[in-house]
Structure 1
Amino acid sequence: MPTTTNLLSSVFGRSPIGPIQKHIAKVHKCAEQLAPFFEATFENDWDKAESIQKDISKLEHEADAIKREIRLSLPKSLFLPVPRTDLLEIVTIQDKVANRAKDIAGIVIGRKMWIPEKLRTSFMSYVRRSVATSAQALRAMGELDELLETGFSGREVSLVEQLIEELDRIESETDACQIKIRQCLFSLEKNLPPVDVMFLYKIIDWIGDLADRASRVGSHLQLLLAR
Protein backbone atom coordinates (compact mmCIF):
# COMPACT_ATOMS: atom_id res chain seq x y z
CA MET A 1 0.00 0.00 0.00
CA PRO A 2 1.46 3.43 -0.91
CA THR A 3 2.38 5.69 1.94
CA THR A 4 0.73 9.07 2.47
CA THR A 5 3.94 10.78 1.38
CA ASN A 6 4.05 8.77 -1.85
CA LEU A 7 0.40 9.51 -2.54
CA LEU A 8 0.93 13.23 -2.11
CA SER A 9 4.06 13.09 -4.21
CA SER A 10 2.21 11.36 -7.04
CA VAL A 11 -0.32 14.21 -7.15
CA PHE A 12 1.77 17.24 -6.26
CA GLY A 13 5.42 16.27 -6.57
CA ARG A 14 7.60 16.79 -3.53
CA SER A 15 5.08 18.91 -1.64
CA PRO A 16 1.32 19.56 -1.77
CA ILE A 17 2.20 23.22 -1.24
CA GLY A 18 4.29 23.45 -4.40
CA PRO A 19 1.39 24.29 -6.74
CA ILE A 20 0.16 26.99 -4.32
CA GLN A 21 3.62 28.57 -4.32
CA LYS A 22 3.76 28.25 -8.10
CA HIS A 23 0.43 30.07 -8.25
CA ILE A 24 1.52 33.07 -6.20
CA ALA A 25 4.76 33.28 -8.20
CA LYS A 26 2.64 33.59 -11.35
CA VAL A 27 0.36 36.10 -9.63
CA HIS A 28 3.33 38.28 -8.67
CA LYS A 29 4.71 38.19 -12.22
CA CYS A 30 1.36 39.59 -13.27
CA ALA A 31 1.51 42.41 -10.71
CA GLU A 32 5.12 43.38 -11.31
CA GLN A 33 4.39 44.16 -14.97
CA LEU A 34 2.46 47.24 -13.85
CA ALA A 35 5.60 49.32 -13.33
CA PRO A 36 6.94 48.97 -16.90
CA PHE A 37 3.36 49.22 -18.16
CA PHE A 38 2.85 52.68 -16.65
CA GLU A 39 6.34 53.79 -17.68
CA ALA A 40 5.38 52.98 -21.27
CA THR A 41 2.22 55.08 -20.98
CA PHE A 42 4.26 58.01 -19.62
CA GLU A 43 6.39 57.81 -22.77
CA ASN A 44 3.21 57.71 -24.86
CA ASP A 45 4.40 54.35 -26.20
CA TRP A 46 0.98 52.74 -26.46
CA ASP A 47 2.22 49.87 -28.62
CA LYS A 48 4.58 48.81 -25.82
CA ALA A 49 1.93 49.43 -23.18
CA GLU A 50 -0.56 47.29 -25.07
CA SER A 51 2.03 44.53 -25.44
CA ILE A 52 2.63 44.53 -21.68
CA GLN A 53 -1.13 44.58 -21.05
CA LYS A 54 -1.45 41.46 -23.18
CA ASP A 55 1.37 39.86 -21.16
CA ILE A 56 -0.49 40.69 -17.94
CA SER A 57 -3.67 39.16 -19.33
CA LYS A 58 -1.76 36.02 -20.40
CA LEU A 59 -0.16 35.66 -16.97
CA GLU A 60 -3.54 36.10 -15.30
CA HIS A 61 -5.00 33.32 -17.45
CA GLU A 62 -2.04 31.09 -16.56
CA ALA A 63 -2.64 31.81 -12.87
CA ASP A 64 -6.29 30.86 -13.37
CA ALA A 65 -5.24 27.57 -14.93
CA ILE A 66 -3.01 26.77 -11.94
CA LYS A 67 -5.85 27.70 -9.59
CA ARG A 68 -8.22 25.31 -11.36
CA GLU A 69 -5.61 22.55 -11.29
CA ILE A 70 -5.17 22.99 -7.53
CA ARG A 71 -8.91 22.91 -6.91
CA LEU A 72 -9.35 19.76 -8.94
CA SER A 73 -6.26 17.94 -7.70
CA LEU A 74 -5.95 18.80 -4.01
CA PRO A 75 -7.04 15.63 -2.19
CA LYS A 76 -10.04 15.92 0.09
CA SER A 77 -8.14 14.14 2.84
CA LEU A 78 -4.68 15.49 3.56
CA PHE A 79 -2.68 14.52 6.61
CA LEU A 80 -1.57 18.10 7.16
CA PRO A 81 -1.78 20.45 10.14
CA VAL A 82 -4.06 22.77 8.13
CA PRO A 83 -7.49 22.08 6.58
CA ARG A 84 -7.85 21.71 2.82
CA THR A 85 -10.36 24.57 2.83
CA ASP A 86 -7.74 26.94 4.24
CA LEU A 87 -5.29 26.08 1.47
CA LEU A 88 -7.98 26.65 -1.15
CA GLU A 89 -8.90 29.98 0.45
CA ILE A 90 -5.29 31.13 0.18
CA VAL A 91 -5.33 30.33 -3.54
CA THR A 92 -8.54 32.35 -3.96
CA ILE A 93 -7.00 35.34 -2.18
CA GLN A 94 -3.82 35.12 -4.23
CA ASP A 95 -5.80 34.98 -7.45
CA LYS A 96 -7.50 38.28 -6.72
CA VAL A 97 -4.14 40.06 -6.92
CA ALA A 98 -3.66 38.94 -10.52
CA ASN A 99 -7.26 39.84 -11.33
CA ARG A 100 -6.77 43.38 -10.08
CA ALA A 101 -3.54 43.85 -12.04
CA LYS A 102 -5.40 42.76 -15.17
CA ASP A 103 -8.25 45.20 -14.36
CA ILE A 104 -5.83 48.12 -13.94
CA ALA A 105 -3.98 47.54 -17.22
CA GLY A 106 -7.20 46.87 -19.08
CA ILE A 107 -8.93 50.11 -18.16
CA VAL A 108 -5.81 52.20 -18.82
CA ILE A 109 -5.41 50.70 -22.30
CA GLY A 110 -9.12 50.88 -23.00
CA ARG A 111 -9.27 54.60 -22.27
CA LYS A 112 -5.68 55.48 -23.27
CA MET A 113 -5.45 57.09 -19.87
CA TRP A 114 -3.02 59.96 -19.48
CA ILE A 115 -1.38 60.44 -16.07
CA PRO A 116 -0.66 64.16 -15.47
CA GLU A 117 3.08 64.88 -15.44
CA LYS A 118 2.95 66.49 -11.99
CA LEU A 119 1.52 63.27 -10.64
CA ARG A 120 3.94 60.82 -12.23
CA THR A 121 6.78 60.70 -9.70
CA SER A 122 4.50 60.03 -6.75
CA PHE A 123 2.32 57.78 -8.90
CA MET A 124 5.23 55.48 -9.80
CA SER A 125 6.35 55.35 -6.16
CA TYR A 126 2.81 54.29 -5.31
CA VAL A 127 2.76 51.59 -8.00
CA ARG A 128 6.13 50.22 -6.88
CA ARG A 129 5.08 50.05 -3.22
CA SER A 130 1.92 48.22 -4.21
CA VAL A 131 3.94 45.72 -6.25
CA ALA A 132 6.37 45.39 -3.32
CA THR A 133 3.43 44.20 -1.22
CA SER A 134 2.84 41.42 -3.73
CA ALA A 135 6.55 40.54 -3.69
CA GLN A 136 6.52 40.28 0.10
CA ALA A 137 3.44 38.06 0.02
CA LEU A 138 5.39 35.82 -2.36
CA ARG A 139 8.29 35.64 0.11
CA ALA A 140 5.98 34.75 2.97
CA MET A 141 4.22 32.04 1.00
CA GLY A 142 7.61 30.69 -0.03
CA GLU A 143 8.00 29.49 3.56
CA LEU A 144 4.70 27.59 3.73
CA ASP A 145 6.22 24.23 2.82
CA GLU A 146 8.85 24.67 5.56
CA LEU A 147 6.10 25.53 8.02
CA LEU A 148 4.30 22.31 7.20
CA GLU A 149 7.47 20.25 7.52
CA THR A 150 8.16 21.70 10.97
CA GLY A 151 4.54 21.28 12.06
CA PHE A 152 4.07 25.06 12.45
CA SER A 153 6.61 25.24 15.25
CA GLY A 154 10.14 26.38 15.99
CA ARG A 155 12.25 29.08 14.36
CA GLU A 156 10.37 28.86 11.06
CA VAL A 157 7.28 30.33 12.72
CA SER A 158 9.29 33.34 13.93
CA LEU A 159 10.70 33.85 10.44
CA VAL A 160 7.25 33.81 8.84
CA GLU A 161 5.87 36.15 11.48
CA GLN A 162 8.66 38.61 10.64
CA LEU A 163 7.85 38.34 6.94
CA ILE A 164 4.18 39.03 7.65
CA GLU A 165 5.06 42.03 9.83
CA GLU A 166 7.14 43.41 6.97
CA LEU A 167 4.23 42.77 4.60
CA ASP A 168 1.94 44.78 6.86
CA ARG A 169 4.50 47.59 7.01
CA ILE A 170 4.80 47.79 3.22
CA GLU A 171 1.01 47.78 2.84
CA SER A 172 0.80 50.65 5.35
CA GLU A 173 3.34 52.57 3.28
CA THR A 174 1.14 51.98 0.24
CA ASP A 175 -1.79 53.48 2.15
CA ALA A 176 0.32 56.55 2.92
CA CYS A 177 1.30 56.84 -0.75
CA GLN A 178 -2.36 56.64 -1.72
CA ILE A 179 -3.28 59.52 0.57
CA LYS A 180 -0.44 61.63 -0.84
CA ILE A 181 -1.32 60.98 -4.47
CA ARG A 182 -5.03 61.60 -3.91
CA GLN A 183 -4.16 64.96 -2.34
CA CYS A 184 -1.97 65.78 -5.31
CA LEU A 185 -4.71 64.87 -7.77
CA PHE A 186 -7.20 66.95 -5.82
CA SER A 187 -4.98 70.00 -6.30
CA LEU A 188 -4.91 69.37 -10.06
CA GLU A 189 -8.42 68.17 -10.79
CA LYS A 190 -10.01 71.54 -11.51
CA ASN A 191 -7.79 71.79 -14.61
CA LEU A 192 -8.57 68.27 -15.86
CA PRO A 193 -11.59 66.83 -17.68
CA PRO A 194 -14.02 65.56 -15.00
CA VAL A 195 -14.39 62.11 -16.58
CA ASP A 196 -10.60 61.70 -16.65
CA VAL A 197 -10.43 62.68 -12.99
CA MET A 198 -13.08 60.11 -12.10
CA PHE A 199 -11.12 57.30 -13.79
CA LEU A 200 -7.83 58.49 -12.29
CA TYR A 201 -9.32 58.15 -8.81
CA LYS A 202 -10.55 54.67 -9.77
CA ILE A 203 -7.07 53.61 -10.88
CA ILE A 204 -5.57 55.01 -7.68
CA ASP A 205 -8.09 53.01 -5.66
CA TRP A 206 -7.44 49.84 -7.64
CA ILE A 207 -3.67 50.08 -7.16
CA GLY A 208 -4.28 50.37 -3.43
CA ASP A 209 -6.68 47.45 -3.63
CA LEU A 210 -4.00 45.31 -5.26
CA ALA A 211 -1.74 45.94 -2.26
CA ASP A 212 -4.61 45.23 0.12
CA ARG A 213 -5.33 41.92 -1.59
CA ALA A 214 -1.67 40.92 -1.38
CA SER A 215 -1.67 41.84 2.30
CA ARG A 216 -4.63 39.53 2.87
CA VAL A 217 -2.45 36.62 1.75
CA GLY A 218 -0.23 37.36 4.74
CA SER A 219 -3.23 37.80 7.01
CA HIS A 220 -4.56 34.38 6.07
CA LEU A 221 -1.16 32.82 6.57
CA GLN A 222 -1.09 34.45 10.00
CA LEU A 223 -4.41 32.78 10.80
CA LEU A 224 -2.84 29.43 9.97
CA LEU A 225 -0.05 30.19 12.42
CA ALA A 226 -2.57 31.09 15.11
CA ARG A 227 -4.26 27.72 14.73
Structure 2
Amino acid sequence: MAVKPAISDVISNSPLALLERHAAVCVDCVERLPLYFAEAQANRWGRAGDVRNEICRYEGLADELKQDVRSNLPRSLWMSISRADLLDLVRVQDKMANGVKEVSGISLGRQLAFPGAMTSGLTDFIGLVVQASRTTVKIISATRELSRSAFGARQTKVILDLVAQVEADERRSDEMQADLRAQLREHESELPAVDAIFLYQLLAAIGDIGNSAEKVAHRAQIIATS
Protein backbone atom coordinates (compact mmCIF):
# COMPACT_ATOMS: atom_id res chain seq x y z
CA MET A 1 0.00 0.00 0.00
CA ALA A 2 1.41 3.40 -1.02
CA VAL A 3 2.16 5.82 1.78
CA LYS A 4 0.69 9.28 1.27
CA PRO A 5 3.47 11.89 1.45
CA ALA A 6 3.33 14.62 4.06
CA ILE A 7 2.25 18.04 2.82
CA SER A 8 5.68 19.44 3.69
CA ASP A 9 7.31 16.80 1.46
CA VAL A 10 4.97 17.65 -1.41
CA ILE A 11 5.76 21.35 -1.08
CA SER A 12 9.50 20.76 -0.84
CA ASN A 13 9.50 18.61 -3.97
CA SER A 14 7.10 20.81 -5.94
CA PRO A 15 6.26 24.05 -4.13
CA LEU A 16 3.85 25.09 -6.87
CA ALA A 17 1.82 21.87 -6.66
CA LEU A 18 -0.24 22.91 -3.66
CA LEU A 19 -0.60 26.45 -4.98
CA GLU A 20 -2.03 25.01 -8.19
CA ARG A 21 -4.53 23.02 -6.12
CA HIS A 22 -5.36 26.11 -4.07
CA ALA A 23 -5.93 28.14 -7.25
CA ALA A 24 -8.24 25.44 -8.61
CA VAL A 25 -10.36 25.47 -5.43
CA CYS A 26 -10.55 29.27 -5.51
CA VAL A 27 -11.79 29.08 -9.10
CA ASP A 28 -14.31 26.39 -8.12
CA CYS A 29 -15.66 29.05 -5.77
CA VAL A 30 -15.73 31.74 -8.48
CA GLU A 31 -17.54 29.37 -10.84
CA ARG A 32 -20.51 29.29 -8.44
CA LEU A 33 -21.08 33.02 -8.88
CA PRO A 34 -23.06 32.79 -12.18
CA LEU A 35 -25.35 30.16 -10.67
CA TYR A 36 -25.80 32.21 -7.51
CA PHE A 37 -26.91 35.29 -9.45
CA ALA A 38 -29.12 33.23 -11.77
CA GLU A 39 -31.07 32.21 -8.67
CA ALA A 40 -30.92 35.68 -7.09
CA GLN A 41 -32.15 37.45 -10.23
CA ALA A 42 -35.07 34.99 -10.34
CA ASN A 43 -35.84 35.69 -6.65
CA ARG A 44 -35.26 32.04 -5.79
CA TRP A 45 -33.60 32.84 -2.50
CA GLY A 46 -33.80 29.33 -1.10
CA ARG A 47 -31.81 28.00 -4.03
CA ALA A 48 -29.51 31.01 -3.85
CA GLY A 49 -28.84 30.06 -0.24
CA ASP A 50 -27.91 26.54 -1.31
CA VAL A 51 -25.40 27.92 -3.81
CA ARG A 52 -24.08 30.26 -1.13
CA ASN A 53 -23.46 27.21 1.10
CA GLU A 54 -21.41 25.63 -1.70
CA ILE A 55 -19.45 28.87 -2.05
CA CYS A 56 -18.70 28.88 1.68
CA ARG A 57 -17.58 25.25 1.51
CA TYR A 58 -15.10 25.95 -1.27
CA GLU A 59 -13.91 29.15 0.39
CA GLY A 60 -13.30 27.19 3.59
CA LEU A 61 -11.31 24.56 1.71
CA ALA A 62 -9.26 27.31 0.08
CA ASP A 63 -8.49 28.72 3.53
CA GLU A 64 -7.34 25.29 4.70
CA LEU A 65 -5.03 24.92 1.72
CA LYS A 66 -3.69 28.44 2.26
CA GLN A 67 -2.84 27.53 5.85
CA ASP A 68 -1.18 24.31 4.66
CA VAL A 69 1.11 26.37 2.45
CA ARG A 70 1.88 28.92 5.16
CA SER A 71 2.48 26.31 7.86
CA ASN A 72 4.54 23.83 5.86
CA LEU A 73 6.54 25.91 3.41
CA PRO A 74 10.15 25.71 4.67
CA ARG A 75 11.96 28.97 5.28
CA SER A 76 14.98 27.81 3.32
CA LEU A 77 14.50 25.90 0.06
CA TRP A 78 17.07 24.93 -2.52
CA MET A 79 15.00 26.11 -5.46
CA SER A 80 14.66 29.02 -7.87
CA ILE A 81 11.36 30.27 -6.38
CA SER A 82 11.46 32.52 -3.35
CA ARG A 83 9.33 31.76 -0.32
CA ALA A 84 8.05 35.34 -0.29
CA ASP A 85 6.83 35.05 -3.89
CA LEU A 86 4.97 31.83 -3.11
CA LEU A 87 3.30 33.29 -0.03
CA ASP A 88 2.29 36.40 -1.96
CA LEU A 89 0.84 34.25 -4.74
CA VAL A 90 -1.31 32.17 -2.39
CA ARG A 91 -2.50 35.38 -0.70
CA VAL A 92 -3.79 36.97 -3.90
CA GLN A 93 -5.29 33.67 -5.09
CA ASP A 94 -7.27 33.46 -1.88
CA LYS A 95 -8.79 36.88 -2.51
CA MET A 96 -10.75 35.44 -5.44
CA ALA A 97 -12.60 32.99 -3.18
CA ASN A 98 -12.99 35.59 -0.44
CA GLY A 99 -14.53 37.99 -2.93
CA VAL A 100 -17.17 35.49 -4.03
CA LYS A 101 -18.10 34.79 -0.42
CA GLU A 102 -18.41 38.52 0.26
CA VAL A 103 -20.54 39.22 -2.82
CA SER A 104 -22.94 36.35 -2.23
CA GLY A 105 -23.16 37.20 1.46
CA ILE A 106 -24.17 40.82 0.84
CA SER A 107 -26.72 39.82 -1.79
CA LEU A 108 -28.27 36.98 0.19
CA GLY A 109 -28.24 38.84 3.49
CA ARG A 110 -30.44 41.57 2.05
CA GLN A 111 -32.14 39.36 -0.58
CA LEU A 112 -30.81 41.90 -3.02
CA ALA A 113 -31.01 41.44 -6.79
CA PHE A 114 -30.28 43.82 -9.66
CA PRO A 115 -33.08 45.34 -11.76
CA GLY A 116 -34.31 42.79 -14.28
CA ALA A 117 -33.19 44.88 -17.25
CA MET A 118 -29.60 44.48 -16.06
CA THR A 119 -29.64 40.67 -15.93
CA SER A 120 -28.16 40.05 -19.37
CA GLY A 121 -25.30 42.51 -18.93
CA LEU A 122 -24.67 41.26 -15.39
CA THR A 123 -24.45 37.68 -16.66
CA ASP A 124 -21.89 38.68 -19.30
CA PHE A 125 -19.88 40.66 -16.73
CA ILE A 126 -19.74 37.78 -14.28
CA GLY A 127 -18.93 35.35 -17.08
CA LEU A 128 -15.89 37.40 -18.06
CA VAL A 129 -14.68 37.48 -14.45
CA VAL A 130 -15.05 33.69 -14.30
CA GLN A 131 -13.14 33.34 -17.56
CA ALA A 132 -10.22 35.42 -16.26
CA SER A 133 -10.18 33.38 -13.04
CA ARG A 134 -10.09 30.09 -14.93
CA THR A 135 -7.10 31.28 -16.91
CA THR A 136 -5.15 31.81 -13.68
CA VAL A 137 -5.24 28.06 -13.02
CA LYS A 138 -3.72 27.50 -16.46
CA ILE A 139 -1.04 30.05 -15.60
CA ILE A 140 -0.15 28.39 -12.30
CA SER A 141 -0.10 24.98 -13.99
CA ALA A 142 2.13 26.31 -16.76
CA THR A 143 4.42 27.94 -14.20
CA ARG A 144 4.73 24.63 -12.40
CA GLU A 145 5.66 22.90 -15.66
CA LEU A 146 8.14 25.63 -16.52
CA SER A 147 9.82 25.25 -13.13
CA ARG A 148 10.66 21.69 -14.13
CA SER A 149 12.37 22.89 -17.30
CA ALA A 150 14.49 25.60 -15.67
CA PHE A 151 12.23 28.38 -16.93
CA GLY A 152 13.31 28.28 -20.58
CA ALA A 153 12.54 31.34 -22.68
CA ARG A 154 10.30 29.45 -25.08
CA GLN A 155 8.27 27.92 -22.27
CA THR A 156 7.96 31.27 -20.53
CA LYS A 157 6.13 32.65 -23.57
CA VAL A 158 3.24 30.30 -22.77
CA ILE A 159 2.72 32.09 -19.48
CA LEU A 160 3.11 35.55 -20.99
CA ASP A 161 0.42 34.77 -23.56
CA LEU A 162 -1.95 33.56 -20.82
CA VAL A 163 -1.22 36.64 -18.73
CA ALA A 164 -2.09 38.80 -21.74
CA GLN A 165 -5.44 36.99 -21.98
CA VAL A 166 -6.23 37.77 -18.34
CA GLU A 167 -5.25 41.41 -18.82
CA ALA A 168 -7.52 41.69 -21.87
CA ASP A 169 -10.41 40.10 -19.97
CA GLU A 170 -9.85 42.43 -17.04
CA ARG A 171 -9.86 45.53 -19.27
CA ARG A 172 -13.09 44.37 -20.87
CA SER A 173 -14.67 43.62 -17.49
CA ASP A 174 -13.79 47.15 -16.33
CA GLU A 175 -15.66 48.52 -19.35
CA MET A 176 -18.64 46.26 -18.65
CA GLN A 177 -18.70 47.33 -15.01
CA ALA A 178 -18.81 50.97 -16.07
CA ASP A 179 -21.72 50.20 -18.41
CA LEU A 180 -23.58 48.40 -15.62
CA ARG A 181 -23.04 51.30 -13.23
CA ALA A 182 -24.56 53.62 -15.82
CA GLN A 183 -27.55 51.29 -16.20
CA LEU A 184 -27.99 51.10 -12.45
CA ARG A 185 -27.98 54.89 -12.26
CA GLU A 186 -30.98 54.91 -14.60
CA HIS A 187 -32.89 52.67 -12.17
CA GLU A 188 -31.95 54.48 -8.94
CA SER A 189 -35.33 56.19 -8.65
CA GLU A 190 -37.02 52.78 -8.60
CA LEU A 191 -34.90 51.47 -5.73
CA PRO A 192 -34.64 52.14 -1.99
CA ALA A 193 -31.56 54.33 -1.49
CA VAL A 194 -29.81 51.77 0.72
CA ASP A 195 -30.37 49.00 -1.84
CA ALA A 196 -28.89 51.16 -4.58
CA ILE A 197 -25.77 51.76 -2.49
CA PHE A 198 -25.32 48.04 -1.89
CA LEU A 199 -25.84 47.24 -5.58
CA TYR A 200 -23.03 49.62 -6.51
CA GLN A 201 -20.89 47.87 -3.90
CA LEU A 202 -21.76 44.50 -5.42
CA LEU A 203 -20.65 45.62 -8.88
CA ALA A 204 -17.36 46.87 -7.44
CA ALA A 205 -16.83 43.67 -5.45
CA ILE A 206 -17.47 41.47 -8.50
CA GLY A 207 -14.97 43.60 -10.40
CA ASP A 208 -12.46 43.13 -7.58
CA ILE A 209 -12.58 39.36 -8.15
CA GLY A 210 -11.37 40.02 -11.69
CA ASN A 211 -8.72 42.38 -10.33
CA SER A 212 -7.51 39.61 -8.03
CA ALA A 213 -7.28 37.23 -10.99
CA GLU A 214 -5.10 39.75 -12.81
CA LYS A 215 -2.87 40.09 -9.74
CA VAL A 216 -2.49 36.31 -9.61
CA ALA A 217 -1.43 36.36 -13.26
CA HIS A 218 1.14 39.08 -12.59
CA ARG A 219 2.57 37.31 -9.52
CA ALA A 220 2.96 34.11 -11.53
CA GLN A 221 4.63 36.09 -14.30
CA ILE A 222 7.16 37.43 -11.80
CA ILE A 223 7.96 33.87 -10.72
CA ALA A 224 8.25 32.67 -14.31
CA THR A 225 10.53 35.47 -15.45
CA SER A 226 12.70 35.83 -12.35
3-state SS of paired residue (1:143): helix
2:87 counterpart letter in structure 1: L
| 1:93 paired residue number | 92
The TM-score with structure 2 as length reference comes to: 0.93
| 2:23 paired residue number | 24
| 1:109 paired residue number | 108
3-state SS of paired residue (1:142): helix
3-state SS of paired residue (1:25): helix
State the Cα deviation string for residues 41-94 of structure 1 (Å, max 9, x = none).
122211110011011011101000000011111122212112111011100010
Give every structure 1 segment of 4 or more consecutive aligned residues whose post-TM-superposition deviation is greater than 3 Å: 6-14
| 1:131 paired residue number | 130
State the Cα deviation string for residues 103-133 of structure 1 (Å, max 9, x = none).
0011111000021111111011111111111
Please, which runs of 5 or more residues in structure 1 have no aligned partner?
A: 1-5
2:91 counterpart letter in structure 1: T
**How much does 1:7 deviate?**
10
What is the percent sequence identity of the aligned residues? 29
State the Cα deviation string for residues 158-200 of structure 1 (Å, max 9, x = none).
1111000111001111101101101111111122211111010
3-state SS of paired residue (1:218): helix
Task: Say if 1:7 and 1:183 are closer, same or farther in 2 by CA, change over 3 A.
Answer: closer
RMSD over aligned Cα atoms: 1.8
- CA distance, structure 2, for counterparts of residue 7 and residue 53 of structure 1: 32
3-state SS of paired residue (2:152): coil
Please, which runs of 5 or more residues in structure 2 have no aligned partner?
A: none
| 1:52 paired residue number | 51
* Number of residue pairs the alignment of both structures matches: 222
| 2:121 paired residue number | 122
Listed as ranges, the matches of 1:27-46 within 5 Å are 27-46=26-45
- CA distance, structure 2, for counterparts of residue 50 and residue 8 of structure 1: 33
- Indicate if the aligned counterparts of 2:10 and 2:17 stay in contact, CA closer than 8 A: no
The TM-score with structure 1 as length reference comes to: 0.93
- CA distance, structure 1, for counterparts of residue 224 and residue 151 of structure 2: 7
| 2:165 paired residue number | 166
**How much does 1:13 deviate?**
8.1
